[in-house]
Structure 1
Amino acid sequence: MVDKLLGSSPGIVNFGIFFGLAVLLLFVILGFVTMAILAERKVLGFMQGRYGPNYVGGKWGLLQSVADVLKLLVKEDLIPKAADRPLFIIAPVIAFAPSFTVMATIPLTDRLQFADLNIGILYYVAISGLTIIGMLMAGWASNNKYSLLGGMRAAAQMISYEIPLVMSVLGVILLSGSLNLNQIVETQSNHGWFILWQPIAFIVFFIAATAELNRVPFDLAEAENELVAGFHTEYSGFRWAMFMLAEYVYMFAMAALITLIFLGGWLPLPFLEFIPGAVWFSLKFSLVVFILIWFRATFPRIRADQLMEFAWKVLLPIALANIFLTALIKEFLNVF
């Protein structure tokens, strides 16, 4: 019966293949999140003169993140009595689903990619923007003033910094002539990494990406000394874990994007071509993640008004000027 069904409906086979690949991608992401949380706690501990996790899983605390996840899974799932129950339940899903979806278009090597789209960058920007809805929905549905303020801050911040983020990458698109991430990496193989051709765009993109991730010093949406925990104040257990999972998945995606767009992706350094591309991608990717963790240990949180002014009065003009400068370079030098 199964063979007959599969034989007459090849769509079911395709669905099974794609479902299996999606599960594989999910396990890869969960593995990264588990190790990223552990790495962040160990790096922060080292920079602050502490040990960090050193008990569960040996002296390195290798199983501490696993223990934390298990603890969250068995915690009671509380829903405030005055909350908007349907919106409260669905908000974490809306916040997490786009973060998982965008990962399918990010190539990890020249041969390892789940979906090769010609509009890869545009797809990422469009889909990742849906997470804003989940955060704002969580703040509104909680019926808590701190949650609502956190949701409004998150929406304002992510929309504001989305603009310089996109504007900064337009210079790379002008030079490469493509929105396809594989094509952008291929262009760098012929002309050098874009961090050399677009240093201003790289700085703007990195700062805007940090703000998009709601990480220090731009974690105003979750400022514990002002808003308790921001838009997810009323969440607990598995639903709270989904918000944290979305944050770290986006860190994975954004670090991968920076690696692909500005650091040459899997391209090797000169005279080191014998090292596999996957190793190069991992090294560059890990460096970006380390810098994001380093920022958390180093910078203080800025004020909300400074956050918004910095996006509109500093990053946006610089990004626009970089587009103009890039257009001049492409027109008169004809290097690309």
Structure 2
Amino acid sequence: MTASITRRRSRRTGMKSKAAVAGAIAVTGALLLTGCGDQRDKTTTTTSAGDTNKAPLFGSLPKDIQSAGVIKVGSDIAYPPVEFKKNGQVVGLDPDLAAALGKVLGVKFEFNNTKFDGLLLGLRSQRYDIAMSAMTDNKSRQEGVDADTGKRVGKGVDFVDYFTAGVSIYTKKGADQGITTWDDLCGKKIVVQRATVSQDLAKAQSKSCEEKGKGKIAIEAYDDDIEAQTRLRAGGADAGSSDFPVAAYAVKTSGGGNDFQLVGEQVEAAPYGIAVPKGNDQLRDALKQALALIIANGEYDKIIAKWGVKEGAVDKAVVNGGK
């Protein structure tokens, strides 16, 4: 979910203490299947807007967005259950939350499908007004710093934090090879989505493995998480890693629950945030107010419960809460 865009997420890059989001974010059986460059396709999906005469926060938005009636969203729409396509429609946690925000703001949220590692570039080029794609709020993104090189690549973004998740490891079912922690991956192969926290963690762990003389980790990175899952399912790797909600969803749904299993605990628990370009304080603050309102009126909790991710819920709207 940086130029090396610590995804969806990043909790990157050094390994921190295990911070399991207790009780695992349960993914319900009702969920259907299982996540950055140029636009992946030209398909857009627009959420419904509230009546501007009744929307309590319409006046808080920048004038250009009031006039357009639309907030353009960059999103990597291949990351179930956070955002994915079902029967040609964009569904998931993020689209539902965006629709709820749109009702109190009185505008539509238009989702544009884009590779994850191109989302921040899309914001810098003003292709999108915001990015909402299970993107982890962290200091490197806030400051516009490439997590790999340490070099500044842009002005950075502000985040309106709306969810919390950790990173998990999963293997083929019945073939965990004794893997329960990241240390157990030394000398093995892992598949991840490119530019994600999982990739950053794997890089950091591989360096640690080499320093301990245990053999580096072979890392295969793919454009989206589904491709990584396909590789693991075919026996092309020893393990995979992604954000816990996504890993748990894959374990629940892939092959009717017979393909994968979660191993060990979550690590690097951190907030997902709606990314807003630096300097657009009015839009950032309007989104924060809107999130606070749907938390207060109960709509937020309904959506969180619908997608079976109650353990990741937040109880207040925060800006730039990531570390």
Alignment TM-score, normalising by the size of structure 1: 0.22
Structure with the greater alpha carbon radius of gyration: 1
| More relative contact order, 1 or 2 (CA 8 Å, 6+ apart) | 2
* Structure with the higher strand share, 1 or 2: 2
Report which of the two has the higher share of helix.
Answer: 1
